[in-house]
Chain A
Amino acid sequence: MIFFEYLINGLLFGATYSLVAIGFTLIFGVLNRLNIAHGATIMVAAFAGAYVSLRLGGKDSYYVLAMAFFIAVVSGALLGILVRAVAFAPLRNASPLAPFVTSAAVTVILEEVFVLISRRVPLFSPEFSQFPSPLENLVFFVGPVLIRGAYVVNFIIAVLLMVSLHWWITQTRMGRAIRSVEENPTMAWLLGINVRRVEVTVFAVASAIAGAVGCLIGVAMGTVGPFMGANLLLTGFVILVLAGLGSLRGAMVCGLIVGVIEMTIVGMVSASMKEAVLFIILFAVLIVRPQGLFSDPEAKRD
């Protein structure tokens, strides 16, 4: 029965991982570059949400929780635009590795800044700070299976965000422009699409999703910390490769799969085995399908 519980909670929590990977893959799809600062964006947004919750007494208020979520999303979007301006835009013609290094540098700087902030701001604590929310102790029992309210809320919000994103990408003019740039940026530019505007929009949207993730994970864990993004970046990267680079649909599905695997391993064995098992699975998938589970083998960008 406990396995069944891990399965359900893993599926629910895995939706948050899907969001991590979607943000990651959106930027990769448009720029063909990995944004290493995506994890740090999640962390900063989580702190922004935690600050609102701590400041306004969010332990018992769903109104404050909604406000914390909104602030986390906005701060994520703004930080994403800043990261693009600092770490990506000036390096348009540089080596593909250059933005990898600059976005990693942004990560290190942000983590160190938040180490200092958590020491200096009395609301926070040095190693980890609380993210109070009314969902902390909310639980449902389905027979003997306990399901956390925070996971259910996370799942619902994650699914709503994924559905909205899918609609935006497939049905709107900007979505079509994004897909055109993903397919062939030069041709998109020749056809009159403002590639720079597409890039800024994608960074803002992907980072806003990162902001939502920061808040959702902060609420689920009850704490935030300066290095929380590094863990999530690793998970996001595994999902990205497992699904196939640039596959939004794959990122959604593989996020759920990874959530279930992770929850089961952590619960039944230990957290120390989590990454090892994930990488063994990743290794096995790459041997069988090097392009990932959801990517076309012929897909190649110019």
Chain B
Amino acid sequence: MKTTRLSWFFRGIRRSAAAVTLLAAASAPALGFQSEGTVRIGLLESQTGTFAPFGLPGLWGSLIAIDEINAAGGVMIDGRKVRLAVTPNPNGYDSGADTAQAILLLKRLQAENQVLMIKGLSFSNAGTAVFNYLNELEKEGNPIVVHSSAVGAPGLSQISKWGFRNTFSEVDIVGGVAAAVQKRTGAKTAAFFITKDNPYFPSIAEKAIFPALKGLGIEVKVVTDAVTSDRDFTRQVDQIRAANPDLVYVLATTLPAINFMKEAKRRGLKPKAYIGGISQLTVETLKSGGDAVEGMIMAGSYDSASPALKKFADEYQKRFKQDISLFAVNGHEAVYLIKDALERSGVKNTPETLAEDRRKFRDAFTKSSTTSVTGEKIGFNADRETPKAGVLLHIKDGQFVALP
């Protein structure tokens, strides 16, 4: 269950404790930089709250990549191999599900922790706010790169030239998904279940899915909405059931999507296909969704049966006792993109050159590329995003499996 308003009291206590800890950290002598043989990378993911199913895998994937790089000697900066230092150690900051907290912690990483760049942001509200704040930092003359491996709202990286992401962009592929599903099912009508309090979902529906369906001649018969904290979806399921659509799009974060699907199963809503999105590509969807999510179709950036993923998947399972997800893969990829840029940027990695180093890093990052653990070669386009080919998946026997 999500925390509600009474929990201001408990949050207050937690924040006070966090503030004391942070003040103590801020007053400690600076660690890192070339003289200590490290380069500081700030981490800022949602480790608790609604978006933890996206933030934690992103964090854990990144930590594995950082350990791999450090085990191999680190990154070559100014003629010397230095280690990637997670700031703050060992897991970075937790932005929870709170946009204001994300901004606060970004300021701290930028000004007090003196990191070279920040990898983080696990939800689109925080992405929008932080990327806008990056423009403010640029005006003040203190810009810094923020790279996200999770935020997916269309057009988000165009907000600031300091904002980057290697998310799997659904916008580029929803048309293909709709066409493929129509070919399989002969669908002529569709209905939507959308959680409207997360801008990502209404945005992707308006900007990408509705136009794609219109182009295919699929009529949208009903759009029903909810908010992330909703627990009962009787109204939404009944509205959709009355419209009797061929396709049902489920545009929601993990828990409301699962609860909607469970209610749909109980009420016998059986369209030709349910179509989800990257928010469903989490371990929690499979674990808690059970039979209710079987058969759901979505696009992902890789086929989990790919042998290329085995080493990463085994290490992830060993360390975090979980199966990998798209967000874990993205987190891993992101660190290798950062490594590539670090080695080509010409940064000096000293406290004195930090501002200049941040600019050099940004310039190098725009040209950064790597080969993902999925085997796909990725690099940034002009919008500072990493286009990916995509694979059509469905849930079969409790697993994400490529559609034959």
Contacts and interface: CB of A to CB of B under 8 A. Distances in A.
Partners in one complex: yes
Given A104-B9, A115-B48, A222 B288 contact: yes
B41 interface: no
A121 B320 CA distance: 9
Interface stretch (B131-139, B232-240, B350-358): B232-240
A144 to B, nearest CB: 10
B310 interface: no
Interface in A122-136: 122, 125-130, 132, 136
Interface stretch (A73-81, A86-94, A263-271): A263-271
A230 B235 contact: no
Contacts of A267: 232, 234-235
A183 interface: no
**Size bracket of the B interface:** 35 or more
B6 A233 contact: yes
A237 B4 CA distance: 13
B270 interface: no
Contacts of B234: 2, 5-6, 9, 146, 267
Interface stretch (B214-222, B260-268, B361-369): B260-268
Residue of A120, A121, A221, A231 contacting most chain B CB atoms (<10 Å): A231
B322 A122 contact: yes
The 3 closest A-B pairs by CB, nearest first: A228-B1, A122-B321, A234-B6
Contacts of A108: 10, 13-14
B190 interface: no
Given A127-B53, A271-B227, A221 B1 contact: yes
Interface string A99-141: 0000011011001100100011110011111101000110100
B52 interface: yes
B381 interface: no
The SS class assigned to the A binding surface is helix
Contacts of B227: 270-272
A148 interface: yes
Nearest to B53: A127
Contacts of A227: 1-3, 7
Interface string B60-80: 000000000000000000000
Contact of B229 (A5, A9, A228, A271): A271
Given A127-B255, A233-B6, A266 B232 contact: yes
Contacts of A228: 1
Given A104-B9, A139-B267, A222-B262, 9 more contacts: A125-B288, A126-B53, A130-B288, A227-B3, A227-B7, A231-B2, A231-B3, A270-B230, A271-B227
26 contacts: A6-B234, A121-B321, A122-B321, A125-B284, A125-B287, A126-B52, A126-B53, A126-B56, A127-B284, A128-B1, A130-B287, A137-B266, A146-B234, A221-B259, A222-B259, A222-B262, A223-B255, A225-B2, A227-B3, A231-B2, A266-B232, A268-B235, A270-B226, A270-B230, A271-B226, A275-B5
B330 interface: no
Nearest to A101: B13
A75 B264 CA distance: 34
B39 interface: no
A266 B259 CA distance: 14
Nearest to B237: A146
B284 A230 contact: no
Given A2-B238, A127-B49, A272-B229, A104 B287 contact: no
A14 to B, nearest CB: 13
Contact of B266 (A59, A128, A139, A271): A139
Contacts of B258: 222-223
Contacts of A6: 234
Given A2-B238, A270-B230, A129 B2 contact: no
